[in-house]
A and B are shown apart, each in its own frame.
Chain A
Amino acid sequence: MANTDVSARNAGELNRLFLQELRLVPEWEKIKVCIQCGTCTASCPTSWAMDIKPREIMGLFRAGRLDKVLRSNSVWICASCYSCTVRCPSGVKVSDVMYALRAIGMKHGLLPKGEKYPALAQAFAKVVDKYGRNAESELLARFYLRSDPLGLCKQLWLGLRLFRRGRLALLPKGIRGRDDIHKMMAELEREDRG
């Protein structure tokens, strides 16, 4: 029983963190008026691959069990196509709910095993923070070497075809305002900590 209490308390804490994140979305309160109609799940092009479907995610939020959601692959399978958002009859911004869940997963290390997107996002942020722009070759090299060496082999053929056509920029282009990017990111980090 004690274990259940602890997990329930953690799950409650998770709801609080989630709402803190979701507050950055306009009309975030609409999540409270989800009518569980399932339009989001039915409109989603990738819900067939999700362990927990979008409608169930809204229900689990209400039940205070976001821990279950974050242990599943669901939020990482969302492709941000906004079909759910434009169709939701209650005006829930489902895609932004997914972003908020991904962000708390990343910030608090609550990530499903084997999911590769978080490493991709981290590599992306590293590259953008460094140069001010994305450098595709460096991003993919960082990501594949760290998380998916086998995937790198699969991608080499495409890489070669792109390279032959001059579509692979090997050297990153840094912007002049790189320092400004660093300062802006540092300012927001300071704010988060404070």
Chain B
Amino acid sequence: MKEYTYYPGCTGEASGRACDISARNVAQTLGVDLIELPDWNCCGATTYLSMDAGRAMALSARNLALAESQGRDLVAICSGCFSMLSKANHRMADHGEMRGKITRALGAVGLEYHGTTRVRHLLDVFVNDVGEGAIRDSVAKDLKGLRVAAYYGCQLSRPKGMFDDPEFPTSLDRILSWLGAEPVWYPVKAKCCGGMLMTSQSKVCERLVGKLLSVAVEAGAECIATICPLCQINLEGYQKRISKVFGTHLDIPVFYFTQLMGVAMGMGEKELHLSENLTPSEAIAARC
């Protein structure tokens, strides 16, 4: 078992519960031991960053400091968390004024951060640490050519492209093909789902999500796989409303990627919580 420090993120405790649970179970099967970071706090997210960069970075840095004392890579399952934790790390390394701010904030509670925590996304760990052989070996129930649109969204590979191409990532497509699925040609795979705009600017956001869904359908995808709980809920939660706007009928299942991995590993409801998805994912799982 290789050990990692695990950062579930706030969404993983609520609307993204199935992402968290399936991630833990699939990781376990692949020999990836996710040890939850004790007393982790919110990463700050784009929302806090929109108010005050210093405070947002300090929030992320508390997690980095706590993780540093554990001495393992810090793994996130949400692109927002991954992006914010990475940003705080980069600011610590390359920006004196921000480093000073973060250091003083941490110092006020007796914490120190030396900049050694490596931030990872679970997808990165699976593709690059676990790798093709072990993932192929874990398959108990081949996905039998299931046509999947692999959706990455924005903050996984942008701005830095830390482990995949910023504009045309392929990590998830590769994993899906190792499971026996057939990733479809999905040119909008790194386009934006709008994130929190679904709350503040729903009309703008519906247009973005509508495009992502309709391109997947046109490409012949039977379902979509996401790597972020917020993308997952944006893509599956508003299909009826968006169908009205677009004058079409959208009803395409949207999985968190570890749910699909779990299906291929022969896992069931207890490990994957497929019944919590708002779109009809169980039928797809049953077919495989």
Contacts and interface: CB of A to CB of B under 8 A. Distances in A.
Nearest to B90: A26
Q: What size tier do the contact residues of chain B reach?
A: 35 or more
B191 interface: yes
B200 A81 contact: no
Interface in B89-141: 90-91, 94-95, 97-98, 101, 104-109, 111
B97 A102 contact: no
Contact of B47 (A124, A161, A180): A124
A30 B21 CA distance: 43
A121 B41 contact: no
B267 to A, nearest CB: 18
A125 B42 CA distance: 10
Nearest to B240: A157
Interface stretch (B7-15, B28-36, B256-264): B7-15
Interface in B1-59: 10-11, 13-18, 39-42, 44-55, 58-59
Which of A49, A154, A161, A183 gathers the greatest number of chain B CB atoms within 10 Å? Answer: A49
B155 interface: yes
B54 A188 contact: yes
Nearest to B277: A165
Interface stretch (A9-17, A34-42, A57-65, A134-142): A134-142
Contacts, number: 201
Interface SS of A by simple majority: helix
Interface string B133-174: 000000000000000000001110011010000110000000
Contacts of A165: 275-278
A7 interface: no
A14 B121 CA distance: 38
A161 B278 contact: yes
Interface residues on A, range: 35 or more
B185 interface: no
Interface in A122-171: 122, 124-125, 128, 132-137, 140, 143, 151, 154, 158, 161-162, 165-169
Contact of A76 (B15, B42, B53, B201): B201
A80 B194 CA distance: 8
A25 B161 CA distance: 18
A133 B39 contact: no
Interface of B: 10-11, 13-18, 39-42, 44-55, 58-59, 62, 90-91, 94-95, 97-98, 101, 104-109, 111, 153-155, 158-159, 161, 166-167, 191-192, 194-197, 199-202, 204-205, 208, 237-238, 275-278
| Cβ-closest 4 pairs across A and B | A82-B158, A81-B192, A81-B154, A134-B10
Interface of A: 21, 23-26, 45-46, 49, 76-77, 79-83, 85-86, 93, 95, 99-100, 102-103, 106-107, 115-117, 120-122, 124-125, 128, 132-137, 140, 143, 151, 154, 158, 161-162, 165-169, 173, 175-177, 180-181, 183-188, 191-192
Given A24-B54, A81-B155, 14 more contacts: A26-B94, A76-B200, A82-B158, A95-B159, A116-B199, A125-B52, A132-B41, A134-B11, A134-B42, A158-B237, A166-B276, A176-B39, A185-B58, A188-B55
